[in-house]
Amino acid sequence: AQSVTQLGSHVSVSEGALVLLRCNYSSSVPPYLFWYVQYPNQGLQLLLKYTTGATLVKGINGFEAEFKKSETSFHLTKPSAHMSDAAEYFCAVSEQNQGGKLIFGQGTELSVKP
Amino acid sequence: NAGVTQTPKFQVLKTGQSMTLQCAQDMNHNSMYWYRQDPGMGLRLIYYSASEGTTDKGEVPNGYNVSRLNKREFSLRLESAAPSQTSVYFCASRGSLGQPTYHQAFFGQGTRLTVV
């Protein structure tokens, strides 16, 4: 069975500071990994994904994440936070088969202070 | 191109009433999903459909049924609503093999359901 754990339900950073959102996964098979962002009263949007190949993936809005198999982690980072980054972020995992389950973590709410 | 469309956007039900949440996608995706979102719980998978004609249970299927009517539509039914089913429900579809958006999930805007 697959599962995702996001460490920290709420993270607060100052504008311009590093953003680090943590995600660890459990999967019995090689996973596909995703980060999604949700703005208030909206659905989720894809930030980035890891499927195969390079373990450092870049996404939209300056975010990136690194797949570390040995640590079963897929942490999300951004060098310099912007006020517009305030939102809820979700890590997700799926199996490498078409149409398989897509399982989400509990979410991390990011606040950005001026 | 509308993407994933959910109806209704808001609904209030009395305990014991039934209703169906509708979801349709126009991206020719094979896979579709239903999630519920509750504070502190993230998104929990209720049911999913890997392709037309197939459905499978997710993490929290009890109290729900689904129908994959055709490739476009995937409905979620509450037969006898309970206050514990008060939540925001999201439908999603996922890019298919051969599509540029393979593996990427696209979400509807959600249905906010309150059961009193």
Residue pair A110/A13 in contact (Cβ under 8 Å)? The answer is yes
User: Which of the residues B29, B30, B37 would you substitute to probe the A interface, choosing the one with the greatest number of A C-beta atoms within 10 Å?
Assistant: B37
Give, in order, the Cα–Cα distances in Å from A11 to each of A94, A110, B74, B94: 25, 5, 35, 29
- Whether the per-residue pLDDT at A35 is higher than 70: the answer is yes
Rg (Cα) of chain A, in Å, rounded?
Answer: 14
Residue pair B72/B52 in contact (Cβ under 8 Å)? The answer is no
Q: CA dihedral defined by A46, A105, A31, B50, rounded to 10 degrees?
A: -70
- Whether the per-residue pLDDT at A99 is higher than 70: the answer is no
Judging contacts by C-beta atoms under 8 Å, the chain B residues touching residue A43 are 4, 90, 107-110
What is the spatial distance between Cα B51 and Cα B53, in angstroms, rounded to a whole number? 6
Owner of token pair 């929990």: B44
Q: Do A44 and B4 touch (CB under 8 A)?
A: no
- Whether the per-residue pLDDT at B1 is higher than 70: the answer is no
Q: What is the pLDDT of residue B113?
A: 97
> Considering only CB atoms, which residues of chain B are within 8 Å of chain A?
4, 30-31, 33, 35, 40-45, 48-51, 56, 58-59, 90, 92, 94, 96-97, 103-105, 107-110
Query: Higher pLDDT residue, A1 or A66?
Result: A66
Q: What is the pLDDT of residue B104?
A: 87
Whose CA is closest to B37, among A4, A105, A25? A105
E strand map for A15-98: 19-26, 31-38, 44-50, 56-58, 64-68, 73-78, 87-95
pLDDT band at A101 (very low <50, low <70, confident <90, very high): confident
Task: Report the DSSP pairing between strands A10-14 and A108-113.
Answer: parallel
What is the spatial distance between Cα A10 and Cα A4, in angstroms, rounded to a whole number? 16
Q: What is the pLDDT of residues A45-71, one digit of tens each?
A: 999 999 888 899 999 999 999 999 999
Whose CA is closest to B54, among B26, B78, B30, B77? B30
Q: In the structure encoding, which two tokens stand for residue A90, read together?
A: 């979700």
What is the spatial distance between Cα B2 and Cα B5, in angstroms, rounded to a whole number? 7
Judging contacts by C-beta atoms under 8 Å, the chain B residues touching residue A104 are 35, 42-45
